Amino acid sequence: MTDPAVLALAGGVGGAKLADGLQAHLGDRLAVVVNTGDDCERHGLLVMPDHDTVLYNLAGIEQAEWGWGIEGDTHAAMAQLGAYGEETWFSLGDRDLALHVARTARLQAGGRLTEVCLGLQRSLGIAARILPMADEPVRTEVRTDDGWLEFQDYFVRLRQAPEVLEIRFAGIDDARPTAEVLAALAASAAIVICPSNPLVSVAPILGVPGMREAIGAARQRGVPVAAVSPIVGGRALKGPADRMLAALGLEVSAVGVARLYADLADVFVLDAVDAALAPGVEALGIHAIVTDTIMTDDAARARLAGEVLGALEAR
């Protein structure tokens, strides 16, 4: 795909990797709508894990092993916070901390979330735009045997150990797609749902009132939607998506994910190890593409992104 713009929906490390691959092809013609349900307040600062993971990946400074945070970051501030008796289970690197300080200060000075994020992105010199799914706060919460937990409490402090019985997105009824998201949608010739957790990364984005309708309207105009499976060989490449799907009684497979996107996706990309599942995807009325979806390095990110864009162009 050469000239037209593309909109990607992403959350978490897998989404950030594909967004990075897409940026390699599209540069400033890429807009990435990110989940803000994982956002949290730590030490009086707003932390936006999915936005920041995409930001650091697009800037090429992500911590290679974890995929989030900044490569080579130190943790002196965290150690000092611990010395003051503050909680340290959610670990913020020193350079990462600077982002949360700047963002929170600008918000407290009256800045709007999307504008503040775009300003910070410009400082890191990335070509694409990363757009929070909404300016209003939305917070993902999961119900476990111990009751409702904030997402990062479940994800980081409890290391995703408790079984998730229910998921909700607090505040979502009052959220709206931003003018920037709607403008990016209107300008896009194709939409990519990245290989992110469908239940806690993509669902909040699609759950913003008006978002599904806006994507539906784009499809009516002939804008194709491709989704990439985050489940490979019946397992999540990263994170708890597989366990969450199972606990909620959903099929833990690429077909199970495709089913969640059946009313939205024209193309579904599944990994070569799941080639036998392609007919099950096609049976849902979605065109299946089978390829290597494991993004081990920059070249693999760009190659997968190229295949996704090629499949969309062919629609």
Query: What gap in Å lies between CA 213 and CA 221, rounded to an integer?
Result: 12
Least Å distance, CB 91 to ligand FO1, is 4
Least Å distance, CB 56 to ligand FO1, is 8
What residue spans of the chain are helical by DSSP H? 12-26, 49-59, 76-83, 94-108, 113-124, 151-152, 179-187, 203-207, 211-220, 241-247, 254-260, 278-282, 298-313
Least Å distance, CB 138 to ligand FO1, is 13
Among 47, 184, 245, 311, binds ligand FO1 (CB under 6 A): 47
- Using CB under 6 A, count the residues that bind ligand FO1: 17
Per CB under 6 A, the segment of 151-159, 171-179, 248-256, 259-267 that binds ligand FO1 is 151-159
228: contact with ligand FO1 by CB under 6 A: no
Per CB under 6 A, the segment of 85-93, 215-223, 245-253, 279-287 that binds ligand FO1 is 85-93
Query: What gap in Å lies between CA 253 and CA 274, rounded to an integer?
Result: 9
Nearer to ligand FO1, 152 or 178 (CB): 152
Distances (CA, A) of 175 to 11, 25, 105, 134, 251: 17, 31, 22, 6, 30
Q: Contact, 62 vs 53, CB < 8 A?
A: yes
46: contact with ligand FO1 by CB under 6 A: no
Per CB under 6 A, the segment of 110-118, 148-156, 294-302, 307-315 that binds ligand FO1 is 148-156
Among 74, 76, 86, 91, binds ligand FO1 (CB under 6 A): 91
User: Residue 16 region, left (φ>0) first, then alpha (ψ -120 to 50), else beta?
Assistant: alpha
Query: What gap in Å lies between CA 138 and CA 142, rounded to an integer?
Result: 13
Query: What gap in Å lies between CA 241 and CA 228, rounded to an integer?
Result: 14
Among 49, 195, 230, 240, binds ligand FO1 (CB under 6 A): 49
Q: Which of residues 26-45 bind ligand FO1 (CB under 6 A)?
A: 38
Query: What gap in Å lies between CA 265 and CA 2, rounded to an integer?
Result: 22
Among 152, 178, 229, 253, binds ligand FO1 (CB under 6 A): 152
What lies within 8 Å, CB to CB, of 24 at 6+ separation is 298, 301, 302, 305
236: contact with ligand FO1 by CB under 6 A: no
Least Å distance, CB 314 to ligand FO1, is 31
155: contact with ligand FO1 by CB under 6 A: yes
90: contact with ligand FO1 by CB under 6 A: yes
156: contact with ligand FO1 by CB under 6 A: yes
Q: Contact, 160 vs 240, CB < 8 A?
A: yes
Structure tokens at 79: 């150690």
Nearer to ligand FO1, 35 or 188 (CB): 35
68: contact with ligand FO1 by CB under 6 A: yes
Least Å distance, CB 20 to ligand FO1, is 15
From 170, 159, 132, 156, select the one nearest 11 (Cα to Cα): 132
Q: Contact, 20 vs 10, CB < 8 A?
A: no
Nearer to ligand FO1, 68 or 261 (CB): 68
Q: Which residue ranges make up the site for ligand FO1 (CB under 6 A)?
A: 11-12, 38, 47, 49-50, 52-53, 68-69, 90-92, 96, 152, 155-156
